[in-house]
Structure formats: C-alpha cells, structure tokens
Amino acid sequence: MPHAAALLRALPAGLLGLAAAASSAAEPQAEPVALDASRDYLVGAALNSGRDPLGTNDQRLRLRPIWAFQLGRFRFATSGASALLAQGRETVDTGVSTVLARSDRVSLSTSLSLDEGRSWDNDPVYRGLPDVRATVRGRVTAGITLAPRWSASLRASQDLLGRDGGLRLDSGLTYRHPVSPQTHWDLSLGAGWGNGTYRQTHYGIAPADAAATGLPAYAVGAGWDVVSLGWRLTSALNRHWVAYGGLGVSQLQGAAARSPLATRTTTYGATVGLAWRNN
C-alpha cells in the first residue's frame, strides 16, 4: 500500500524531529509536569499502519479515536491512551483496569478488555471459515522494575465468555531512555504464549471446516506463538498536549508460523498519536 509504505519511511525522521523539538522547547529550569491519572482524562486520535499475519489482507492505514478517564478506582483507556497516560504517570492497561497492589518495585493490576475477534467474510481465500468470535478477556498484569531504566511485565488473559478464546500469556522487557523531562523513548521486546484452545481458534482449521472450504485441516496445541520488537517515542509537548509514535515488528513462531492461515510470518507496523489532557 503506497500510503502505508510512505508512512513507514517517513516516521523515524518525524519522531526524531518531535524529540528534538520537545527537548529544545523544555527550559533547563523547568520542572516535569506533575500528572495524576486519578484526576485526569484525555481525548485524541491515532494513525496506525499494520497488517494481520493471518489471511490475505494488505497493509492498512487506519485512523481511530483514543481516550481515557477514571471513575473512582477504575480506569478506562484505549491502547493508544495507555501509552500517552504513561508519560509522567504510571502505566495504564487497555480497557477497564484497577491496581490491586503496588510497591516501589512491583505492581499488580487487573483489567477487562474487548477482544474483537476476526471475520473472514472479506477474504477471497479464507472466506467460509468460521469467524473468531468477539469476547471479553479478563487480565492480570504483574510488573517489576529491574533497574532505573529496565522493567519487565507478565500478563495473563482469559476468555470470560466461553467463546473458545482460551488463555494467553504475554511477557515483556523494556528499556526506557529519557530525552528530556518531558520526553522519553522505549525499546521493548515481547513474547506471547497461548494454550491449546487459544491457538486452535486463531491458527487451526477444523476437519469439518477444511472439508467445506477445500483448505487443509490443521491442529495446533499450546506453545509460544509470537515474538515482537518495538520502539516508541512519547512526549508531553506542553501541560495539555501529548504525542507519541512508534515502529514495531513481530514474527510468528513454531506451529503458528506453519499454519495454513499464516500468509506472512513477519509483519511491520507504525503508529502516531496526539491527544489533549485536562491537566
């Protein structure tokens, strides 16, 4: 897709320019903005370029809203808003979340999120396969600070509606480099594991579905299915405006990569976002 390719080529220079502008705009004597997620909200938009490794869809460019707010102990946030709220604040999970426990080095939170599933209706090759049904996932996330710039996380998510979504574990290791009091970039390495139910739903083809579509049947059990690497720059442009952008690559592993549904095992993505905060 020409527009998506142009975005991927232009994004690194744009992000570096944003970092330089944010650094030059910050006066040496300025104090970091004190931001409290328990009282704040934000609204904005994000532009994403990405491709599903499953199916035949091309790289797509999408504009979507991002938002976050809090009611008492419970926070509501989209994925883009989570990244923006993390600038000068604690990390916020996507969906509805609350912190269960926290110390100087360790945190434990729980959240609910919507898994939108997948439809094959518009795919000329895989049309006729059953859709991956949307469901609500319950998640528990543990985070630990390993060193001043290093952190790790482990998240378990379970399908709560019994729609064959199964159990998923996602782990991550992140290095954070401060550019200025208002700007930093993160380099993150991630790996994901799914149980047999999750992986059969997402990567498998049942014999009955194979007979109906002419595709080969494929059974898959539990195991690691994806590794990812991402770089993201986040900057508080001033007290109210905050922006972020990033590049990422992910690769299917093992039985997931050998699935007949996996038309491309390595995929690339890019995103930029801008939002307004009330504080």
What is the number of domains present in the chain?
A: 1
Q: What is the pLDDT of residues 137-172, one digit of tens each?
A: 999 999 999 999 999 999 999 999 999 999 999 999
Q: Using CA atoms, how far apart are residues 160 and 142, in angstroms rounded to an integer? A: 20
Q: Where are the beta strands (DSSP E) in the chain?
A: 42-50, 60-71, 74-77, 95-102, 106-115, 135-147, 150-159, 167-180, 183-194, 223-236, 241-252, 266-277
pTM of the complete model: 0.81
The residue with greater pLDDT, 278 or 120, is 120
* Residue 269 domain flag: yes
CA neighbours closer than 13 Å in the CB half-sphere of residue 80: 24
* Residue 27 domain flag: no
> What percent of the chain is helix, strand and coil (3-state, nearest 5)?
20, 50, 35
* Token pair in block for residue 250: 């992910």
Q: What is the pLDDT of residues 181-221, one digit of tens each?
A: 889 999 999 999 999 999 999 999 999 999 999 999 999 99
Q: Which domain holds residue 59?
A: 2-22+39-277
* Residue 120 domain flag: yes
The secondary structure element, H or E, covering residue 35 is none
Q: What is the pLDDT of residues 85-134, one digit of tens each?
A: 555 555 556 678 888 898 989 999 999 999 999 999 999 999 999 999 99
* Residue 31 domain flag: no
CATH number at residue 54: 2.40.160.40
* Residue 132 domain flag: yes
Distances (CA, A) of 153 to 161, 173, 175, 212: 25, 7, 12, 42
* Residue 225 domain flag: yes
Q: Using CA atoms, how far apart are residues 88 and 16, in angstroms rounded to an integer? A: 20
